[in-house]
Structure 1
Amino acid sequence: MALIDGLGNAGPAQQTSTQDHHIRGTAVEDATDPVVQQALWQSLQPGQLQMGFVPVPFRDEQQHFLLAGAPGTGKSLTLKWLLGGIQRRGEKALVYDPVGDMVSLFYRPGFDIILNPLDQRDAGWYPWGDLAQHELASFAKTIIPDPQGQADPFWSMAGQAIVQALFRHCKTIDEVLRLAVMADQDELKAVIQKAGLIGLVGPDKTFAGVRATLAAPLHKLGALRNVTLEEYAKGETFRIKEWVRNDNDRRWVFLLSNKSQFETLSPLLTLWTDIVVRAALSATPSPDRRIWLSLDELPSLGKLAALGPAMAEGRKYGLTAILGLQTIQQLRQIYGKEEASVLYGLPKNRLILRINDQETADEMSKELGEYQRRRVTTSVNQSTNQSISRGTTLGGFGGGLGDSLLEGAFGSRNTTHTMGTSQGSSTSESLVIERAVLPSEIMQLPDLHGYVKTGGETCRVILPVPNQPWVESQPQHLPAKMRQMPWER
């Protein structure tokens, strides 16, 4: 009689493998390997610019640059590489320098221009030489900005009206300051009346309050050297519009400041940048012209109303912007959400370094793009079945021939092992759309590591560091004393 003594099952074993196949969208190339970096460096054509060793196609230069990253991540390092290449090519540039490090590296004494009335190297500027009558309204808004939020717009509008009237009537800064601050009320109102703006300054009882709001902004404007019309006629000051329109004038213009000077100079820095942008848009279109705008820490300049249109149409006027920023919020506070989106969406050439802000990292992740892939998943299932049977045959005396005595007397025992294996597989496919670079990846980048997007390619990069430090051939600042105001003499 045979009895099944036991059944066994080793259980299924499953192996799963996944393969991803890129279909379309952003493909991030790894350019961090030293061998790849060397190959990229050697591929640079004469005069070609690079970001993170990656060459920027000449045809894409006029579609602007965006350098985004937290302090210390490598924005300034990359800007120095770009400006060095631009200067070697002999092209003109406006360089906003809120620190002074670009002046120390690239300023050429006796050739380039520094605009900063608090620096001994200031070239001097005569406002009436660069401001037409129809531009005085936008000029006044630069000096006295429109209010933000729910603030009453009357006070700023009235102040702007007085500034317009003063600059229509006067021909020197000292004359503007004297009328605004020192003249009696009737004399000042007569000037405003002559300009046809008296209706904007309110009744007599509010006029004194409006006039009081002028003191602080005009004190900043008073930092300018008191250039006379005769000095201007002799060419003793710098003329911004002439510089923009003269394609043979390849000088660089540095808008220089530092932290201690910035509050005083900020309206002038914004004004000068705005004049350059508007002058470029009013110039004759030329495919051969090249004017570079280097605007690191862009939000600190305040609102440049003409910047967006200038970047959108800049190609035909030869205008190329290099924008530097730390967070999207800074830009939105100045321009509003929609206009800020336009500004940081325009540059085609991008360097994205570590971003410490979640929202900005998310926006930059979106800008780097998405990709679609086909994911193939294969599963293999294998199971093993096992059975064991044990049997006993009962016997007696007189067993047959060949049987041993014991087998004949007590019967025989036997054990049987049975094993079976089964296997099956399944394959599934799915289409997956994902960000090419996650926001968390951007936020975790080490210093000098980032992503470059240019020429239709996206690469992970390490920024090149010069073998020898750049030589600061010029002092960052040569402080000059603030001049005396008319009422201080």
Structure 2
Amino acid sequence: MPLWIWVGVAVVVFNIFIWLGLKEHEFQLDLMRCYSTLWTWVGGDKYHLINLTLPGGKMVHLPMGYVPYHPAVVEAWEKTWRIVWATFVIASIVAAPVIMWFITWANKRGSDILKERHERGAMLVERPVLVREIKAHNQDQFSQECRSGTPQRNPAMVAQLSLPDRVELGIHTPYSIAGIPYPWRLEQSHTMMIGTTGTGKTTQLRSLVSQLRKRRHRAVIFDLTGAFMEAFYSPETDIVLNPMDARCAPWTLFDECRNYADFVSAAAALIPSHPDDKEPFWQNAARMLFIEMCIKLQELGETNNAAIAHHLMQADLKSIHSKLEDTVAGPLTTEKAARMAESIRSVLNVNGQALRFMPDPVPGGPPAFSIRDWISTQHRDGSIMFITGSYNDLELTRGLFTLWMDLAVNNLMRLPKTRDLRTWYLFDEVHALHALPAIEHGLQSARNYGGAFVLGIHSFDKLVSTYGLQNATALTGLARTKLILATADRTTAEKCSEFIGSREVRQMDEAYSYGYNNTRDASTLTPRKAIEPLVIPDDINNLPSLRGFVKFPDGFPATRVELQWKSYPDVAVGFAPRPEFKPTEYVSPEDRRRRAKRADEGGEGGTEHVPNRPVNGAKPVLEKPEPQRERSEAERAAAGIEINQPQALTTLAIPQPAGTGEQAVTSGPRGVSPGPQQGSLTPAALDGRAARAPMMAGMGNAVTGARSGQDMPEMGRSAGAERSADRTGDTVREDRQEDQVIRELRDGIAVDNRDHHHHGHDHDHGLDDGYGMAD
């Protein structure tokens, strides 16, 4: 091909010179010389006479062989040869660069033909290319918002303002991830960071926290390592929620839930069920029990964590049923199905036991904290809510952590809609919690309310084990920005490869054929299209620490990134243990009223007494010296067995009919004289004791039978055990009453009407709760 280029150039140049340099008669003389040479070469007669026309027009006769030697012909022929040599030189000069260009182009063309060619699909570009593309996009969007806003602003002037000034004016300033700015307002498209331990997830999350601190945005951070507390905690603005941390703010569920639906949502977060379980009966029943008890306690005014533990987790089944018998949870707590009831409560206790250790708000102590109020309070800019813990305590606190995160997400969506970023939700390890019921809805809708999620996971399989395959796939799809770091398992690497994307490429297949003769050898190129991943899973598995890939939504290409580790000075300890880690003490409403009264009187040493006037329309009852912990059925049975021992009997005071003013005292081996408590009994209380005289007489017979060697009724089984099949329903109820009386005899206290008439519709719960006399 280069030779043909030279020939072509030479022909063009030669024709130009001939047309410009030779006259017509000279061209004719050159042709006659060529004709004479050809005549001689074919053997023609050299002496054949011809007519030769000279330049002046004169015609001469001469032999054919003499034509090349005629002076006019020689002169014209020499001139033609000069033109030929000039053509050669000029053609070479002109054709050389053309030939070089052609050779270069041909080589490049050949290489391009053999190269894979991107047809469509995702792209992987160099980091500077992506940064330029995003900055250009953000500048266009920034200019449009400045011109279309109210009031209109000059983009050039706004760009010169400092970051705090822009934030103060409500002008969006993009965050950055791995040193690359987010495309305009795509922080709220949510982010997922995927990588095994030590690859850089926490490094990037701390970078985000540093950026939001500068912008004074709020955040909810789930911190299992204390890394965020150590670097960013400020006691003036931030909140710590961790029942095992001394800095934990007092909190109660009743400050978060205003109606029945709120309790339903909270119960679903506190008591989880696996998404693949279609009918989680035990979890649903435990939720119903928890919801109805919280509603009942709210009606009674006992809105604290200790009340939930006291009345639901520690109370006996009979006491629970007495409170919930008129609710939808009543059938779940009946003693006729005690085994099922205790199983349901065990599900609740396992998941909600952290509530027992959560500090309650107390007068004169730190103010109560409410997630609902914190989310809705607009003036607390820059505040961070740290939900902290450790892997050692996670079995105890996982349910409570899940509840708090769920409340934080749900309460955001109660706010008015906005395009501006309000609150970040940072989950360093989202699969460490139970499945959050609100997280999928939050990822779908939070961007409309100013929320941005960042989810960190170690492996996709772990996310599937928590949320199920379908929900895990939905979560990874809703978090559209991906930071992919090194992974430890093949499944996660394959998922990450899918997140980065695939492309369609055209490839050239080269085939060779060989023949017997060299002229039959050949090479054939055949184009072929194929779909292949941009990054194969093995490349992701073998990534070094702090290196990975970033993929943004909205058509931006993926790129390789390298994180920069930064050391943050410690401003606080990651975990400050409580001096005494024990369940929060339960204080009855009456005790709270007495303490408040003593505080109003200016001292704590005043005499305590039981008021002689009715409270809330109910009759006064005998006050216990201390509120005793409610016993399970097994404990009561054990107490009843002790009656067999003569030393266990106490004084039994049976009041005489009203008006006599006398009491019949039956003394056992350890008799006691009437003390101040018995002397302070009101007539109403005496009437209540007189009403129980026949029952106590029957109990005496039972005790006598026990002493004579007769078998006592079965009372040693655990709470929820079934009674013997041959006992009738009436006998069962009578035995339970006897069990209760035996316990009362052992405790040496009076019993109010609620113990044996808890099924009545005129029962006042507030009376017993107020005086600490609940079962």
Q: Distance in 2 between matches of 1:86 and 1:293?
A: 11
1:20 aligned partner, one-letter code: E
2:369 corresponds to 1:238: yes
Structure 1 partner of 2:564: 464
Whether contact under 8 Å (1:119, 1:478) holds in the other structure is yes
TM-score, with length taken from structure 2: 0.52
Q: Distance in 1 between matches of 2:378 and 2:360?
A: 29
List aligned pairs for 1:319-468, cutoff 5 A. 319-377=451-509, 424-454=522-552, 456-466=556-566
Shift of 1:30: 3.3
2:416 corresponds to 1:259: no
In structure 2, the CA distance between the partners of 1:154 and 1:429, relative to structure 1 (3 Å rule), is closer
In structure 2, the CA distance between the partners of 1:309 and 1:374, relative to structure 1 (3 Å rule), is same
1:457 aligned partner, one-letter code: P
Whether contact under 8 Å (1:373, 1:431) holds in the other structure is yes
Shift of 1:208: 4.0
Whether contact under 8 Å (1:297, 1:324) holds in the other structure is yes
CA distances 1:99-124 after superposition (whole Å, capped 9, x unpaired): 10011111112111111121121122
TM-score, with length taken from structure 1: 0.80
Helix, strand or coil for the counterpart of 1:479? coil
In structure 2, the CA distance between the partners of 1:276 and 1:208, relative to structure 1 (3 Å rule), is closer
Whether contact under 8 Å (2:269, 2:436) holds in the other structure is no
1:135 aligned partner, one-letter code: D
Whether contact under 8 Å (1:37, 1:53) holds in the other structure is no
Given the alignment, which residue of 76, 95, 103 partners 2:202? 76
In structure 2, the CA distance between the partners of 1:183 and 1:326, relative to structure 1 (3 Å rule), is closer
1:240 aligned partner, one-letter code: I
1:257 aligned partner, one-letter code: G
CA distances 1:126-147 after superposition (whole Å, capped 9, x unpaired): 2111113222123223333336
Whether contact under 8 Å (2:124, 2:557) holds in the other structure is yes
Given the alignment, which residue of 325, 338, 350 partners 1:205? 338
Shift of 1:216: 3.5
In structure 2, the CA distance between the partners of 1:244 and 1:38, relative to structure 1 (3 Å rule), is closer
Segments of 5+ residues of structure 2 without an aligned counterpart are 1-109, 139-158, 164-172, 298-302, 587-627, 630-775
2:114 aligned partner, one-letter code: T
Q: Distance in 2 between matches of 1:307 and 1:111?
A: 26
2:183 aligned partner, one-letter code: P
CA distances 1:434-477 after superposition (whole Å, capped 9, x unpaired): 111111111111111111112512001221223xx221221111
Q: Distance in 1 between matches of 2:373 and 2:333?
A: 35
Shift of 1:369: 0.9
Helix, strand or coil for the counterpart of 1:290? strand
Shift of 1:209: 4.2
Q: Distance in 1 between matches of 2:332 and 2:521?
A: 89
Q: Distance in 2 between matches of 1:262 and 1:103?
A: 17
Whether contact under 8 Å (1:380, 1:426) holds in the other structure is yes
2:324 corresponds to 1:224: no
Q: Percent identity?
A: 24
List aligned pairs for 1:180-195, cutoff 5 A. 180-195=312-327
Helix, strand or coil for the counterpart of 1:261? helix
Structure 2 partner of 1:416: none
List aligned pairs for 1:467-478, cutoff 5 A. 469-478=567-576
Structure 1 partner of 2:117: 21
Q: Distance in 2 between matches of 1:41 and 1:58?
A: 8
Q: Distance in 2 between matches of 1:426 and 1:147?
A: 59
List aligned pairs for 1:106-185, cutoff 5 A. 106-132=232-258, 133-146=260-273, 153-170=280-297, 171-185=303-317
2:379 aligned partner, one-letter code: N
Shift of 1:42: 11
Q: Distance in 1 between matches of 2:346 and 2:492?
A: 40
Q: Distance in 2 between matches of 1:213 and 1:424?
A: 78
Helix, strand or coil for the counterpart of 2:436? coil
CA distances 1:412-451 after superposition (whole Å, capped 9, x unpaired): xxxxxxxx86774433211121111111111111111111
Higher relative contact order (CA 8 A, sep 6+): 1
Q: Distance in 2 between matches of 1:20 and 1:149?
A: 44
Whether contact under 8 Å (1:375, 1:431) holds in the other structure is yes
1:454 aligned partner, one-letter code: F
Q: Distance in 2 between matches of 1:309 and 1:38?
A: 32
CA distances 1:220-250 after superposition (whole Å, capped 9, x unpaired): 211111225x67xx98111111221223322
CA distances 1:232-283 after superposition (whole Å, capped 9, x unpaired): xx98111111221223322110001112222222111100100011111222
1:143 aligned partner, one-letter code: L
Shift of 1:37: 11
Shift of 1:485: 4.8
CA distances 1:371-424 after superposition (whole Å, capped 9, x unpaired): 112223566879896xxxxxxxxxxxxxxxxxxxxxxxxxxxxxxxxxx86774
Structure 2 partner of 1:290: 422
Segments of 5+ residues of structure 1 without an aligned counterpart are 1-14, 386-419
Whether contact under 8 Å (1:225, 1:483) holds in the other structure is no
Structure 1 partner of 2:649: none
2:177 corresponds to 1:51: yes
Helix, strand or coil for the counterpart of 1:460? strand
2:404 corresponds to 1:277: no
Whether contact under 8 Å (1:19, 1:377) holds in the other structure is no
Structure number with higher strand proportion: 1
Structure number with higher helix proportion: 2
Moved more, 210-219 or 185-194: 210-219
Whether contact under 8 Å (1:68, 1:352) holds in the other structure is yes
What's the RMSD between the two structures over aligned residues? 3.2
Helix, strand or coil for the counterpart of 1:124? coil
2:455 corresponds to 1:304: no
Q: Distance in 2 between matches of 1:483 and 1:465?
A: 40
Whether contact under 8 Å (2:360, 2:584) holds in the other structure is no
Moved more, 455-464 or 251-260: 455-464
Q: Distance in 2 between matches of 1:422 and 1:209?
A: 87
Compare CA radii of gyration and give the structure with the larger one.
Answer: 2
In structure 2, the CA distance between the partners of 1:103 and 1:58, relative to structure 1 (3 Å rule), is farther
1:95 aligned partner, one-letter code: I
Helix, strand or coil for the counterpart of 1:164? helix
Helix, strand or coil for the counterpart of 2:455? strand
Q: Distance in 2 between matches of 1:111 and 1:334?
A: 33
Whether contact under 8 Å (2:309, 2:356) holds in the other structure is yes
Q: Distance in 2 between matches of 1:452 and 1:289?
A: 22
Helix, strand or coil for the counterpart of 1:282? coil
Whether contact under 8 Å (1:40, 1:54) holds in the other structure is no
